Amino acid sequence: MSGKAAGKVTGLQISPWNLILLLPLLMLVTPWFNFDKPRVLGLPFFYWYQFLFVFVGVVSVAVVYVMTKGKPVVTGKPDRLAAEELDEGEK
User: For the window 32-71, what string marks contact with another protein as x by the rule CB under 8 A?
Assistant: --xxx--x-xxxx-xx--xx-xx-xxx-xxx-xx------
**Number of chain residues interacting with another protein (CB under 8 A):** 47
Minimum gap (Å) between residue 75 Cβ and another protein: 15
Buried-state track 23-62, b at ≥16 Cβ within 10 A, e below 16: bbeebeeeeebeeeeeeeeeeeeeebbeeebeeeeeebee
Measure Cα distances from 41 to 37, 44, 57, 59, 88 in Å.
12, 9, 22, 24, 41
Q: Show contacts with another protein in window 4-23 (CB under 8 A).
A: 4-5, 8-13, 18, 21-23
The residue ranges that bind another protein (CB under 8 A) are 1, 3-5, 8-13, 18, 21-25, 27-28, 30-31, 34-36, 39, 41-44, 46-47, 50-51, 53-54, 56-58, 60-62, 64-65, 87-91
